[in-house]
Chain A
Amino acid sequence: AAGVIQSPRHLIKEKRETATLKCYPIPRHDTVYWYQQGPGQDPQFLISFYEKMQSDKGSIPDRFSAQQFSDYHSELNMSSLELGDSALYFCASSLRGTYTEAFFGQGTRLTVV
């Protein structure tokens, strides 16, 4: 079965650079979530989209922005990268409805040097 696809799997950027992470949800899933997991930490919710509209916002820095496109894939844009942005970034997708689980991608490991 198709899973959530994230690209790239690994990314190395320098401070103050820009990065774009992509997420392709499971077919027919209409909701996308982005999470950030720092070393030894729990996944922190960043932002979510339902039907291409932002549905919820968490601890996402102003330097980050995201959107969901007409084909339901989502992109997380990160500008003015800082060393502290180094983390695993997970995308998850679900089919909107009550009591449905979200499925996670393999994550993108971002390293800012």
Chain B
Amino acid sequence: DQQVKQNSPSLSVQEGRISILNCDYTNSMFDYFLWYKKYPAEGPTFLISISSIKDKNEDGRFTVFLNKSAKHLSLHIVPSQPGDSAVYFCAASGMGGTYKYIFGTGTRLKVLA
């Protein structure tokens, strides 16, 4: 049973445009959400996180939005750059983020020059 889902396995975006990656979760106990970026044969790299007490967190070109009622979060990358091309995983945790991280299935983003 996949508690964290990323329904789009891949996404292509033109350089300079906005990339929107989506993530849905089913467990209402999750209260901390993270986005990781992963290149082939490398470990996931932390990008940005959000706790359930917020609905938005911004860090440079990256913004994460959380809609608790819909159990949905999204990562916006503006403007998208070719170096952003990677697989993006969302992860969720409970108990204030001290519980294990459950990962989504990943979305492969390709930014076209």
Q: Which residue of A has the minimal Cβ distance to B34?
A: A101
A56 touches B99 (CB 8 A): yes
Surface stretch bound by A, among B12-20, B36-44, B63-71, B75-83: B36-44
- A24-66 CB contacts (< 8 Å) to partner B: 33, 35, 41-45, 48, 56, 58
Which residues of B in the span 21-36 have a Cβ within 8 Å of any Cβ on A? 32, 34, 36
Bound-state Cα–Cα, A109 to B40, Å:
11
Stretch at the interface among A11-19, A67-75, A91-99: A91-99
Residue B73 lies at the interface, judged by CB distance under 8 Å to chain A: no
Which residues of the other chain, A, contact B51 by a CB distance below 8 angstroms? 98-99
A102 at interface, CB cutoff 8 A: yes
Q: Which residues of A contact B99 (CB under 8 A)?
A: 56
Q: Please tell me if the beta carbons of B102 and A96 are within 8 angstroms of each other in the complex.
A: no
We find that the number of chain A residues with CB closer than 8 angstroms to chain B is 28
A26, chain B: closest CB distance, angstroms:
12
Q: How many residues of B contact A (CB 8 A)?
A: 23
Q: Quick check: A90 and B43 within 8 Å, CB to CB?
A: yes
Contact call B104/A90, Cβ cutoff below 8 A: no
Which of A58, A88, A99, A107 has the largest number of chain B CB atoms within 10 A? A99
A90 to B42, CA, bound (A): 9
For the complex, give the distance between the alpha carbons of A103 and B106 in Å.
Answer: 17
Contact between chains at B46 and A107 (CB < 8 Å) = no
* A105 close to B96 (CB less than 8 A): no
The 6 closest A-B pairs by CB, nearest first: A98-B96, A104-B43, A99-B97, A42-B103, A42-B105, A56-B100
A interface list, Cβ under 8 A from B: 4, 6, 33, 35, 41-45, 48, 56, 58, 88, 90, 92, 96-107, 109
